[in-house]
Amino acid sequence: MVGVHTVIDCATGRPEEPIKTVDWEGKVALIQCAKAMGIQKYVFYSIHNCDKHPEVPLMEIKYCTEKFLQDSGLNHVIIRLCGFMQGLIGQYAVPILEEKSVWGTDAPTRIAYMDTQDIARLTLVALRNEKCNGKLLTFAGPRAWTTQEVITLCERLAGQDANVTTVPVSVLRFTRQLTRCFEWTSDVADRLAFSEVLTSDIVFSVPMTETYSLLGVEQKDMVTLEKYLQDYFTNILKKLKGLKAQSKQSDFYI
């Protein structure tokens, strides 16, 4: 790490890895290492509203990491995120094109998804802006969407209906309670803890006017979910049509 002056920490544990080991012990070690090396700026990606949900292990750990970084003395910027547009491709778009089941919930939770390229661009702007030093920023997309609204949008753009399998949030909560009874399924229980958030009727979004003003960018330059998915489906359906393929041929989706 010779010559490194900035750390952008966007790492997190995989689903099969223990949350505490990666997202707490690993982060503490990395922050301490950055401090010892004299890193000039540390950027940490967190989760929106993590301070309001201590019952969710990952969100509690993210909040604790924020506090640890703030107390470390490092010059830092903390960025809380709401959701990624890219994650919707594998979750909804591809299954619809493959005529496979799309899994959803009956939760009213709304999420303001954001393009990862926009997140990266705003992060670089924040890095160069001295006014952002020590700040806690939240990045959110132009509009907050429910699961059903996202599925409906994908159906319209794909030109076909989705085979939706709805999982009641109550089932997720029961499954979490069950998996907490066994040590070998404790990590699964931690992941399912997000079901507690889904039942809270919360909106994962924030007004971005002040943030745009601070960073010197405009909302019109941000990619909307409609535009992002429209581009995806247009490109994919064009390729499939050109190759005279059926929608179930998934080799060209990714």
Q: Residue 122 has what pLDDT?
A: 97
The pTM for the full model equals 0.84
pLDDT digits (tens, 9 = 90+) for 192-212: 566 667 656 788 999 999 999
What is the longest distance spanned by two Cα atoms in the chain? 59
Only one residue has tokens 């599925």, namely: 151
SS3 state at 243: coil
Burial 199-224 (b: 16+ CB within 10 A, else e): eeebbbbbebeebbeebebeeeebbb
Q: Return d(Cα 14, Cα 23) in angstroms, integer.
A: 10
SS3 state at 178: helix
Q: Which two three-digit tokens encode residue 176?
A: 């979490």
CA atoms within 13 A on the CB side of 234: 6
Q: Residue 199 has what pLDDT?
A: 57
Q: Residue 90 has what pLDDT?
A: 92
Q: Return d(Cα 144, Cα 167) in angstroms, integer.
A: 21
SS3 state at 44: strand
| Segments of the chain scoring below 50 in pLDDT | 184, 245, 247, 249, 252, 254
205's CB contacts (< 8 A; 6+ apart) are 48, 82, 110, 111, 112, 140, 141, 143, 144
Q: Which two three-digit tokens encode residue 149?
A: 């609204």
| Residues recorded for the chain | 254
- To 10 degrees, what angle do helices 26-37 and 57-72 make? 20
